Amino acid sequence: MPRAVQAVLLGLVVALSHSSGIAESGADTRAAAPKALRMWVDARAGTGAPVHWVSEGSVYEYPSGKKLFGMIGFDSSTVIWPEKAGDPVLHLTRKTYTYTDAKTGEILKEYNGEPVTPVAYPYQLITYRLEDGRIFGDVEQGVKDRVQFIKAENGLEAKFIGNNTLFVNAPVFLDIPIGGEARMQAWENYDFFIHDENTVDEPHQLSWQRYGDLPPWAGGGKGIFHLLSWRVESHEDFPPQMLAWARAEMPFWLNPPANLEEIRNLQENGLALAGW
């Protein structure tokens, strides 16, 4: 069976396994959570049914500022609230992004004779906790001996702008070993604007920036990445080009991990679990 068909079938199983709402055991802890934490988790991961954040943006050469590529992608997420108040909230997600031609906007398959490789995380497990009024999110990602545990040091700045808008800022400083003496070093910044329902047309907004290495296929050097993101509730709400690419090339990413068991299997087996 072709890998794309296998992934589609797995995606259907995953989608059917998701509840349409918060499990009864976690409903009370969600309801009792401080407003900022509840708004944040609901926006990022939904309230049980899968949600998606879609992204469009650009990549620039540094320091010249020359636009090199466009960029599109998305993440798919769901949530597990704990049974006991004060225990961590689990955000189950996966994400993928690819590059487009700077002039035509067409998805790039190769660049200067090199195949273009999408960014693809089969899963991320993010554990949220509230300490001293700040939201902390610890991340697990990777496979086997390359599973990484990225612990939040300073937490997310969360504050209200007026009565209806929650601003959440997450600067990320990355310095991760990637084999031998090599390290992946980068700075990323996430600015989320989360609005109460019925106050604006698009209540979930994100501006993301990154300074770091360009992909190896792009010839090396440093780049500035910028994405504008917003949330959609179904695949049909994706931008058409993005949805066509996802269905043809990355169907596994169209649904979030079903549960912790799937994540532990991915940590052990990687995408062999999906027949990829």
Q: What is the pLDDT of residue 181?
A: 85
Q: Binning pLDDT at 50, 70 and 90, where does residue 152 land? A: confident
Pairing mode of beta strands 204-213, 114-115: unpaired
Say yes or no to pLDDT of 13 above 60: no
Pairing mode of beta strands 114-115, 148-150: unpaired
User: How large is the average pLDDT for residues 227-239?
Assistant: 98
User: How large is the average pLDDT for residues 220-236?
Assistant: 97
Would you call 36 helix, strand, or coil by DSSP? helix
Q: What number of residues does the chain have? A: 276
Please answer whether residues 95 and 118 qualify as being in contact, where contact means their C-beta atoms are separated by less than 8 angstroms: no
Stated pTM of the model: 0.87
Would you call 155 helix, strand, or coil by DSSP? coil
Q: What is the pLDDT of residue 25?
A: 63
Q: Binning pLDDT at 50, 70 and 90, where does residue 12 land? A: very low
Q: Binning pLDDT at 50, 70 and 90, where does residue 7 land? A: very low
User: How large is the average pLDDT for residues 250-261?
Assistant: 96
Q: What H or E segment, with its residue span, contains residue 265?
A: helix 260-269
Q: What is the pLDDT of residue 33?
A: 93
Say yes or no to pLDDT of 20 above 50: no
Q: What is the pLDDT of residue 19?
A: 42
Report pLDDT digits (tens) over 105-148: 999 999 999 999 999 999 999 999 988 888 999 999 998 888 88
Report pLDDT digits (tens) over 72-99: 999 999 999 999 988 999 999 999 999 9
Q: Binning pLDDT at 50, 70 and 90, where does residue 22 land? A: low
